[in-house]
Amino acid sequence: GGYTLDDKSELRGMFIWQSADADLVRLGDVGPSSLYAQYDDYKSFALDLGYRRYLQLSNRDIRLFGEGTIGVGFIDSIGVQFAAPQSNIVFPASNYYDQTAAFTYGLGFGAVFRFSDRLDFTGQFGLRHVSGLQTVDQFVGTGLEAVSNDTARLTFPVVVGLRYHFK
């Protein structure tokens, strides 16, 4: 959603839901056997607030814009199942990350193509950063502490859509 301040400025609010499937990951070795981890899927919900600034071209039906956003994301807890198949060992499933809130920021650039007085087509690309996840303490002293490093996410969203003007 957006609120027009003037012809060149807009305040924006976005609800963002993300989900990413988890893959089976080889972590290393346990004796003669490979150690694997199967994680739960990544799921998050976020509220981002932002400011968009338009640049009017000589063609009145096309407007370029740049925007910046900040917000907070709520990330579901993530569980993990460890297994060493060659040794016939399956460890009990456990929490790997606790549910947490994370800081978000983003930059975007795009264009608005006017279809009519009330309807526009929008295309946008940019980047969005979500800060790291909260780890659980049960892996302290196991040698797996470093696996939870670098949990921040940087994505490059491509957004297309239709906009309807109420006024």
- Give tens-digit pLDDT for 33-56: 898 989 899 899 999 999 999 997
pLDDT given for residue 20 in this prediction: 86
Pick from 108, 105, 101: nearest CA to 71: 105
Per-residue confidence (pLDDT) for residue 128, from 0 to 100: 94
Length of the chain: 167
pLDDT at 58: 84
| pLDDT-derived band at 57, boundaries 50, 70, 90 | confident
Distance, in Å, from the CA atom of 38 to the CA atom of 10, rounded to the nearest integer, reads: 43
Q: CB under 8 Å to 106, separation ≥6 — which residues?
A: 48, 50, 68, 69, 126, 127, 128, 129, 157
Per-residue model confidence as pLDDT tens digits over 63-86? 999 999 999 999 888 888 889 888
Question: Which pair of tokens denotes residue 92?
Answer: 């009990």
